[in-house]
C-alpha cells in the first residue's frame, strides 16, 4: 500500500505550486486505482493547518474548500485513512531510536511509524527527512 505525505497533498491542492501538476497526477492516479492507498490522519491535520495558514500562503485556502478537497479524496473507495493502532508504539520507538530523532522531526517519525504499523510499503513525499526511517520506502513523485 502507498501512503501520501502532507507536502504532496498540499502541492496537489495549491494550483500555484510549481509541483502542482505531478502531485495532482500522483494523487489522482492513486484515488482512481483499485489498489489500496493511504493518508495518515496526522497528514490530513497538517494539510488543513498549512493550506489555511496566512503565514504560508498570501491567499490561504478557505477552510471549507480545504475540507471539501479532503472529502473528495475520501470518496476514493480504495483510500484507507490510517492512524495510531496497537502496533504503533514499537514502530515509533524504533523510528525515534534508529533515526536519532528529536525535536520537530518527531512528527515525521510518527508518520513513518503509522505507515509501518499499517503495512505501507512506500510513502510519497518530497521531504528528505523521511530517509532517516528505512522501514518505509520513500518515493518522490515530483522527480521524473
Q: What cell was used for 11?
A: 502541492
- Which domains does the chain carry? 2-139 (3.40.50.1010)
Mean pLDDT of 85-106: 92
What pTM was estimated for this model as a whole?
A: 0.94
What is the band of 42 on the pLDDT scale with cuts at 50, 70, 90? very high
**Cα(70)–Cα(53) distance, integer angstroms:** 16
Task: Reply yes or no on whether the pLDDT at 5 is more than 80.
Answer: yes
Q: Per residue in 108-119, pLDDT tens?
A: 999 999 999 999
> Among candidates 49, 40, 57, which has minimal Cα distance to 125?
40
Amino acid at each position: 500500500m502507498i501512503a501520501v505525505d502532507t507536502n504532496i497533498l498540499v502541492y496537489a491542492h495549491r494550483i500555484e505550486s510549481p509541483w502542482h501538476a505531478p502531485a495532482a497526477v500522483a494523487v489522482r492516479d492513486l484515488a482512481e486505482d483499485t489498489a489500496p492507498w493511504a493518508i495518515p490522519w496526522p497528514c490530513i491535520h497538517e494539510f488543513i493547518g498549512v493550506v489555511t495558514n496566512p503565514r504560508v500562503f498570501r491567499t490561504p485556502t478557505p477552510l471549507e474548500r480545504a475540507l471539501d478537497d479532503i472529502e473528495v479524496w475520501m470518496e476514493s473507495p480504495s483510500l484507507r485513512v490510517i492512524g495510531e493502532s496497537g502496533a504503533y508504539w514499537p514502530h515509533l520507538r524504533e523510528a525515534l531510536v534508529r533515526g536519532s530523532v528529536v525535536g520537530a522531526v518527531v512528527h515525521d517519525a510518527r508518520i513513518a511509524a503509522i505507515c509501518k504499523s499499517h503495512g505501507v510499503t512506500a510513502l510519497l513525499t518530497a521531504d528528505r527527512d523521511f530517509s532517516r526511517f528505512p522501514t518505509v520506502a520513500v518515493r518522490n513523485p515530483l522527480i521524473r
